[in-house]
């Protein structure tokens, strides 16, 4: 009977995903938010309708879905894209990360939060949810200079976030009397090793991309590349997100007919994303919102301010400065989920004296940013005037 219940749940989730997609198109609500709300309603926090053996697959399905997202994000980092907007991507992404970390740390410290805890929370505030942002872009069929830069920022944002997290965690350990050098070494290994792994797999994959027939063979090739990269990254204790981005960037810059693998991934990505967002919603704990208090409320407000200031400042000083919509970059980078939670678990283990505060703030604020963030990303794309400009998937198939 467990198998029957699981199959019925899988079928129901896929149909719910189709319904969310249709409602999203008719109401302009992000389907990400709709799916998370469905998961929240069906999960343990409300109706508890999902079978345990399905929710137990959340970690595996998360890796499958996010590894595809990472590969597609890497595909945005082509030579043409980097030539046209690479400097803007670098400047705005660094500005958003630095400003967010600085504002969150300063604000929490002024509120009386211990410096070590404020440092860790400031670092966690820099993490984003590339899956949510990327899906809103696809749902809105957004295209244009703003969208191009935003896609690049999402692809590289977590690289800076990991480095900032390592530096802040090292500083927090020093303030509490520990040795923080290990955090920096681990971050250097995770960043450099992930990129090297992605390049190592991406080079032969790029060579094969124009030599394998389109259709099923290319789909098998693309999925094999994506999942092999993610599996090796996890086995080597690396970031499968960074490895996937590096692999996608290598393929798009080295392959013949390099668009084929990316189109094939796009065709099969959505069912995995349905499971990912629904199960992510089921894992949320709204009761944590009541536990946030002044610390959590301050973190949410300060992260919002840091994103807005960092995006605006980076957009003003980057090439083509003076963009009237530069403040929209920060508004588009609010979704926060898996990467932040992963970092929070590492920080909680490293600084057990602050474990309760770290996990309460990050888990509680994730509920807010995952539900509100995609809607704000949608509004930013709409205000930038770039929604509905990309060709539909049916057009790209021809």
Q: For residue 15, what are the contacts with CB-CB under 8 A and spacing of at least 6?
A: none
Contact 295, 376 (CB under 8 A): no
Distance CA 159, CA 94 (A): 10
CA dist., res. 311 & res. 93, Å (int): 8
Question: Closest Cα to residue 65, out of 355, 233, 222, 268?
Answer: 268
Q: How many CB atoms sit inside 10 A of residue 257's CB? A: 13
Cα–Cα nearest to 331, from 364, 309, 314: 309
- What's the pLDDT tens digit per position in 369-385? 888 888 888 888 888 88
207: Cα within 13 Å, side-chain hemisphere: 5
How many degrees, rounded to 5, is the angle at CA 281 between CA 158 and CA 354? 60
Give dist(CA 347, CA 124) in Å, integer: 9
Q: Give the per-residue pLDDT at 183.
A: 61
Q: Per-residue b/e over 195-231, b at no fewer than 16 CB within 10 Å?
A: bebbbbbbeebbebbeebeeeeebbebbbebbbebbe
Handedness of CA 6, 14, 333, 111 (dihedral sign): negative
Q: Which two tokens stand for residue 279?
A: 């199960």
Estimate to the nearest angstrom the gap between the alpha carbon of 35 and the chain centroid. Answer: 16
Lookup: tokens for 45: 């926090």
Domain 2-397 sits in CATH at 1.20.1530.20
pLDDT for the residue 396: 45
List, for residues 271-317, the tens digit of each pLDDT value: 887 887 787 777 767 666 666 678 888 899 999 999 999 888 888 88
Could you tell me if 239 and 162 are in contact, meaning their C-beta atoms sit under 8 angstroms apart?
yes
29, 375 Cβ separation under 8 angstroms: yes
**Pick from 370, 343, 273: which is nearest to 61 by CA?**
273
Domain ranges of the chain: 2-397
Within 8 A by CB and 6+ apart from 7, the residues are: none
List b or e across 319-351, with b for residues whose CB sees 16 or more CB atoms inside 10 angstroms.
eeeebebbbbbbbbbbbbbbbbbbbbebbbebb
CA distances from 361 to 36, 37, 74, 132, 374 (A): 19, 20, 31, 20, 20
The phi-psi region of residue 141 (left if phi > 0; otherwise alpha if psi is between -120 and 50; otherwise beta) is: left
| pLDDT at res. 394 | 46
* Intervals of the chain under pLDDT 50: 321, 393-398
pLDDT at position 102: 93
Render the burial of 67-77: b for 16+ CB within 10 Å, e for the rest: bbbbbbbbbbb
Enter the tokens of residue 317: 């000083």
Q: How far apart are CA 152 and CA 277, in angstroms?
A: 22
């Amino acid at each position: 009977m467990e198998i029957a219940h699981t199959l019925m749940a899988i079928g129901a989730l896929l149909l719910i995903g189709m319904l969310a997609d249709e409602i999203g198109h008719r109401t302009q609500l992000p389907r990400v938010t709709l799916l998370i709300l469905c998961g929240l309603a069906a999960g343990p926090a409300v109706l508890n309708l999902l079978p345990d053996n399905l929710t137990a697959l959340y970690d595996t399905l998360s890796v499958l879905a996010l590894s595809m997202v990472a590969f597609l994000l890497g595909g945005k980092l082509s030579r043409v894209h980097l030539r046209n907007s690479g400097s803007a991507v670098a400047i705005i992404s660094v500005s958003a990360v630095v400003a967010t970390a600085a504002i969150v740390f300063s604000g929490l410290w002024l509120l009386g939060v211990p410096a070590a805890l404020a440092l860790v929370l400031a670092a966690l505030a820099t993490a984003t949810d590339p899956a949510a942002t990327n899906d809103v872009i696809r749902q809105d069929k957004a295209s244009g200079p703003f969208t191009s830069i935003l896609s690049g920022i999402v692809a590289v944002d977590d690289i800076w976030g990991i480095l900032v997290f390592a530096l802040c965690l090292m500083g927090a350990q020093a303030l509490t009397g520990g040795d923080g050098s290990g955090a920096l070494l681990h971050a250097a290994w995770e960043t450099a090793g992930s990129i090297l792994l992605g390049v190592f797999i991406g080079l032969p994959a790029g060579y094969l991309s124009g030599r394998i027939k389109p259709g099923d063979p290319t789909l098998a090739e693309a999925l094999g590349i994506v999942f092999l990269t993610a599996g090796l990254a996890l086995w080597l204790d690396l970031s499968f997100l960074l490895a996937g981005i590096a692999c996608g960037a290598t393929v798009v810059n080295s392959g013949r007919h390099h668009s084929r693998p990316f189109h094939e991934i796009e065709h099969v990505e959505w069912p995995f994303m349905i499971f990912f967002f629904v199960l992510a919603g089921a894992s949320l704990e709204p009761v944590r919102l009541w536990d946030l208090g002044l610390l959590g409320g301050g973190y949410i407000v300060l992260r919002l301010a840091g994103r807005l200031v960092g995006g605006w400042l980076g957009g003003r000083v980057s090439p083509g400065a003076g963009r009237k919509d530069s403040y929209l970059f920060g508004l588009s980078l609010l979704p926060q989920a898996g990467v932040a939670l992963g970092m929070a678990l590492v920080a909680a283990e490293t600084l057990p004296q602050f474990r309760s505060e770290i996990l309460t703030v990050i888990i509680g604020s994730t509920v807010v940013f995952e539900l509100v963030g995609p809607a704000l990303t949608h509004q930013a794309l709409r205000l930038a005037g770039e929604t509905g400009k990309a060709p539909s998937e049916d057009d790209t198939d021809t």
